[in-house]
Structures are given as C-alpha cells and as structure tokens.
Amino acid sequence: MSLPGGCQIGKERQKLKVEKECVFLKKVKYIALILVLTLGLIGGAYAAWTDNLKAEGTVTTGDIDVVFTEAFSNDPENTDDPISVAIGDPKDVATTTVERSDNGKKLTITITNAYPGYISEVAYCVVNKGSVPVKLQSKIPTWSPEPGLEVTNCPGWFCWLGWPWTSQNPGNPGNEEPEEEGNPLVEGSQLHQDEEFRGVIKHEITDAATQNTDYTYTIDYKFVLFNQYQQN
C-alpha cells in the first residue's frame, strides 16, 4: 500500500537527481576546458623555448676513366727490322703496326711477315682521365697457339736492354743507354687524375713458330679503385 503523496515525492527525487547530474556534467566541461586552455598555454610557452637544426646534403660520385693516349712501334712500315740492325745486316722484312681506338680503350697490334728470331716492341702511355685514383690490379698477356710466340709486358720504355730506344728514336735502335721517361706501369701503380704511366709490349717469335700461321694474343689491363686494390 503506497503512502499518500508518494508519487509526488518520487518525482521530486528524480528531478533532484537529474539536476545533480547536470551540475556534475557542467563541472566536468569546465574542468576539461580549463585543462585545454592550460595545456595550450603550457605548449605555447614550451614552443617559445625550443629551437630546431637541420642538415641537408648532396653526394656526387666521381668516375674512373683510364685510356691509352699514345702508342707506337719500334718497327713500323718502311723501317729495318731491329734484329737485322743488331746483327749488322739491316733489312726490312717484317712489320709491326699499332692503332689506338677512338675512345682510347683498345690497342690493335698487327705483325706481318714475322719469322723465328724476330723481336719487336710497342710502347704506350696510359692516363687516368677520371676524377678518382685507380691502381693497376693486373696486366697478364695470353696468346695462342703455343709455342711460337712469346709476349712480355714490361714497364717503362723498353723490354730488351740490349736494344735501347726512346720515344724520340722509336724505329732505329742505337747503342746509347735507354732513357726512362715517365712512370713505369707495373702492378700496383696508382694513377691519379691526368697522371701518365708508360709501358712496352715485347713480341718474340721463337724457333717453334710454324710457317703461314696466325698467332693472336690479348692483354687485359684491370684497373680498380685505389682502395680496392689487392696485393698479389
């Protein structure tokens, strides 16, 4: 059995509860607003007392570009064979010619009408046109068929000390002492930009050579970055 006026009391309690909840929510909103404003002020003050630095960089790589810049034979066309001059019976029998490719990356050497005992040499210069230093890792000649031809890759301007010749006298061996010019190209030689090194390729036809035979050879010059050279 309900008390008289119970319904009215229940409504007042409900109304009071709602009002309390509204007051609470308003307080929460005020508190949240105050926190936002406070954090904003703190953040502004913090930003005013900070600074930033930045580093930006650009890396440009260099290049390596080793080329043959000069090459000539000590027995070109219309000259007496070096062996014939050495034995005092000068005559023009064989010929050694050399051509350099347009890009300087290749030498083409041609020997015609060779015979056992014939020896010729081709002198050359190499230059590093690139911006990064390099070292010569290897320069190993290979040829075929064997035997019959021997190829030697020498440093400096001469291979056979018995037949000295210089760049000023490439086709006529004399009796003067050979003149070393420039840097000799050997394994481990370091070529900086525009630095020149020199070498000689010596060809010798042995007694094992057969008639009407074509002999071929290749010399691969392997240049590597100066910091990647491996001591053999």
Q: Give the pLDDT of the chain (232 residues) as one tens digit per residue.
A: 444 555 555 556 665 565 555 555 566 566 666 666 665 655 555 556 788 888 999 999 999 999 999 898 888 999 999 889 888 899 999 999 999 999 999 999 999 999 999 999 898 999 999 999 999 999 888 877 778 898 888 876 656 544 444 444 444 444 344 455 568 899 999 999 999 998 889 999 999 999 999 999 999 999 999 999 998 7
φ, ψ for residue 49, nearest 5 deg:
-115, 30
pLDDT for position 2: 47
**Is 18 part of a structural domain of the chain?**
no
Q: Which domain holds residue 159?
A: 66-225
Residue 232, pLDDT score: 75
With respect to residue 186, please indicate whether it lies within any of the assigned structural domains: yes
In a domain, 136, yes or no: yes
Question: Is 53 contained in some domain?
Answer: no
Domain-located, residue 231: no
Structural domain includes residue 24: no
State the pLDDT at residue 58: 92
Residue 22 has a pLDDT of 58
Q: How many domains does the chain have?
A: 1
**Read out DSSP for the chain?**
-PPTTHHHHHHHHHHHHHHHHHHHHHHHHHHHHHHHHHHHHHHHHHHHT----------------EEEEEEEESS-TTS--HHHHHTT------EEEEEE-TTSS-EEEEEES--TT-EEEEEEEEEE-SSS-EEEEEEEEEEESSSSEEEEEEETT-S-TTS---TTSTTS--SSPP---SEE--TT-EE-BT-EEEEEEEEEE-TT--TT---EEEEEEEEEETTS----
165: left (phi over 0), alpha (psi -120 to 50) or beta: beta
Tokens of 182: 């420039």
CA distance 164 to 177: 6
**How far apart are alpha carbons 138 and 133 in whole angstroms?**
16
Residue 94: how many other CB atoms lie within 10 Å:
20
Quote the pLDDT of residue 159: 61
Asked whether residue 3 is assigned to any structural domain, the reply reads no
Query: What's the pLDDT at 169?
Result: 43
Whether 86 is covered by a domain: the verdict is yes
The per-residue pLDDT for 154 is 81
